[in-house]
Structure 1
């Protein structure tokens, strides 16, 4: 697989294939451990952020001209707020919400009955549309590891070394709250990622994770405040673009 690296200007490329106009968008840490996944059908939000991070999500969507959210997937109770789920359902035409068992029990009375809700309490595969596929495997009632794929590029959302989904993947994503002790070198080696993205939060960031990934010769990028990471998908390869976002007013 070929990889392009671009950071506000073109550093270089090793492929001539055209890239998709619809990127997967990784948000900066100011919006919490959230990811906006876009394709030609809809926008999908992974995690909703904590209570004081809601406006950062809406602001980022406006900056990137993101279409309304139709589905939410919640990987960990630590990265989510029930109040944000309620506010999102009030502002966006959300049809489906997939929640960990802990979040499902705590947020149940805040959700509209018309929204399709699925509790992620077992190993499950599901498709949000014809192009976006998920494989979720719970670690415990509050969190689980997950693979997101569009049959071209796959991203492994890493929550714990426990009960890993052992498949070859393209990109490894580690939320800011994951610690070095949560990661196992043998598991990462079996996942065999092309590159990794670490959400760098000043209050949580564990630099030893970066060092571990570098030891395994995995190209690693830090998701920092006011910096977004776009992943563009193509039939045979993917590219990455780092984008400096406007600072908060």
Structure 2
């Protein structure tokens, strides 16, 4: 579904891999080895100096996030408070503003479907078990884990083909982590391709179908099946490049 060929950019060197529909692809390795830069480049945030990206056989020009979103690529960043949410706005605003901006919740006359918006927010709060008094609650009043779930829902409304997750469970409680895991698995069952970076090797082993271990902006090793373990990820992170 997603093909990445010889990407060159900030902290990226000859990065090549593919992502199948419904695959959960993990990114591992020591912190700061190009994992975040790869996700940001695929979302059009960081410029590429070379290489190519194709989705469903169609070459993509990722000049910015709008290009990525238009192609069906969504991105949930690590720094949700500085990059992901509007802290002074409500839960409902944060959950639906992208949909409103892109017309997913607009009528034929350009008017917001307030009833549809309210219903969408209420359903998401219940489905994701977001702990909030209502959709009108300022998002800053929510815990980090509940803020993360709001941010996830913002992009799930676009029904992405590819979902990029940047260490999204870091700093959230155990219960919320498991809810996010189940959400990711459910999306994969629906055919969404997921690429997620995690600094937790055990999380990668428990959730990913395959893990690409990165070091110095390169993919050092691809691990799957019986080869995939926390120890193998650590060994590959410190070992020599052996291919992808």
> Which protein has the larger Cα radius of gyration, Structure 1 or Structure 2?
2
Does TM, scored on the shorter chain, surpass 0.5? no
Answer 1 or 2: higher relative contact order, Cα 8 Å, separation at least 6: 2
1 or 2, which has the higher helix percentage?
2
Question: Normalised by the size of structure 1, how large is the TM-score?
Answer: 0.35
